[in-house]
Amino acid sequence: MGSTGPVRIAARALVATVSATLLVSCSHDAGGPVLRVGAGNSDQADLIAEIYAGALARTGARTAVVAHLGQRRDYLAALDAGTVVLVGEASGDLLTTFDPNSPAHLPDRTPAAGTTDTAPAAAAPVPDVADALSRALPQGLSVSDIADGTDLRPALVARATDDLPAALPDLASRCADLTVGIATGSELDPLRPAVDPQRDVIDPLHARYGCDVPHATVYPSDTDLRKALQEGQIQLGVLTAPAALLPGGTAGLTTIADPRYAFRARNVLPLFRTGSLTPVQIKKLNYVAGELTTAELIEMIVRIRDDHASAATLARAWLDAHSL
């Protein structure tokens, strides 16, 4: 669903592309152009690129993964220049890139649990992330289905031994009495936009839940925040990603549910050059979107990061397991 918008990615000389890793996937068709799928500098990006490239190869296309393209601005420039035709993205982060002031937080038009009692009756409807992103896309770029089963939002966590409510609507009245830590680094996702504690955490918690945070401490990494939480320096912590991505996983932690999406939806989706894919190929990507889940995605990312597993091998096994 392509869309025009005021933002236009500036094409740039991609010197770094010369040294990018180029991996060609097998297919049944020796002819036709090679569909190059780009990936930024992260294990998550490598994995998603391999999944998309592998899925497209199974439609008969010739595909290749171009890895190590750099940060978001670099691989979007590669997409704009035609060096690659598709990249894997996260919906909320991409919306932040194209429309930094968008008020959208919910993933789609389905109301989040408990949203009916949060906003004044006269408040104007707020667009969902999927719709806002569609409107913000620069001319020449399109997205297909968002993987609704992937939820990579920041996580609000507490010590598992602390007696705190399990969801933000029930915790809100106690926020002012708690010290909250906010992680701002890129440890769990090197491609994540930098966190602004006020804009991205404190203000949304107040707006969505009436959760006031007068006592906040900023930490440079998720690991530092976890240590402070375990030592009792803080009672709540806002991670930059799901707790399962932490080194050591969720041991000793409990995640506080955020049903009203104080933290903007962040789901996996493909971003591609308009007209570069056939309807059959787009349909295959939509099948991938319907099968991918948070748990499976995180498990594979952790295996790549901690066990040095091959992203291509994991992607192929995942596609096989889901008959894609």
Per-residue model confidence as pLDDT tens digits over 8-51:
333 333 433 433 445 455 444 446 789 999 999 999 999 999 99
> In the sheet that 216-219 helps form, which strands lie side by side, from edge to edge?
216-219, 180-183, 236-238, 156-159, 253-256
Please give the Cα distance from 89 to 18 (Å, whole number): 22
pLDDT of residue 11: 37
pLDDT of residue 93: 95
pLDDT of residue 115: 46
For residues 85-101, average pLDDT = 95
pLDDT of residue 109: 63
Q: Which domains does the chain have, with CATH numbers?
A: 15-151+267-321 (3.40.190.10), 156-256 (3.40.190)
Cβ distance 194 to 303 under 8 Å?
Answer: no
Please give the Cα distance from 8 to 215 (Å, whole number): 40
* pLDDT per position as a tens digit, 257-269: 999 999 999 999 9
* 212 Cβ contact partners less than 8 Å away, ≥ 6 residues apart: 175, 176, 205, 206
- Collapsed DSSP state (helix, strand, coil) of residue 227: helix
* pLDDT per position as a tens digit, 139-191: 999 999 999 999 999 999 999 999 999 999 999 999 999 999 999 999 999 99
Region of poorest pLDDT, from 68-77, 118-127, 266-275? 118-127
- 253-256 and 21-25 strand pairing: unpaired
DSSP-H helix ranges across 58-140: 72-81, 91-98, 129-136
